[in-house]
Amino acid sequence: MRADFLDSNVVLYLLDGGAKAEIAEQLLATNPTISVQVLNEVLVNCIRKAGMSWEKAGVFLLGIRRVCNVVELTEMTHEVGCALGERYGFSVYDSMIVASALLAGCDTLYSEDMHDGLAVEGVLRIVNPFTPV
């Protein structure tokens, strides 16, 4: 069974319009998985960069939560994330997203700013959905 996970940067393109927003919409239509980490990162960007109010950002995130499976952050996520960060050189936040995707049983992690094409632990493939084909 194919399971997709979205990084926060993919979700944030919904706010920009254009071709990347269309790709993000297509990915969201597949009912992907995200983590609470992704929700937090999107919230920060909605408020700080997009200038949204807390209320407007909350409404946006509610829509995202309705179409995605949301996985919690746990001690296990933290432990796995730390090991992945050390092994692959991910940032702390990216490590937690990759760990969440692995622990959720996903086989594809869509991200614009991670290592496109990398197979993490031979199970999870990181794919930049915005790379021209």
Per-residue pLDDT tens for 66-102?
999 999 999 999 999 999 999 999 999 999 999 999 9
Domain span at residue 68? 4-127
Whether 132 maps to a domain, the answer reads no
Domain count of the chain?
A: 1
Rounded distance between C-alpha atoms, residue 126 and residue 129, angstroms: 9
Predicted confidence (pLDDT) per residue in 108-132, tens digit: 999 998 999 999 999 999 999 999 8
- Least-confidence region, from 15-19, 28-32, 54-58, 108-112: 15-19
The answer to whether residue 1 scores a pLDDT higher than 90 is no
Looking at the domain assignment, is residue 133 inside a domain? no
CA distance 67 to 30: 8
Q: Look-up: residue for tokens 């071709």?
A: 19
pTM: 0.94
Residue 127 CB-density burial (10 A; 0-12 exposed, 13-18 middle, 19+ buried) = middle
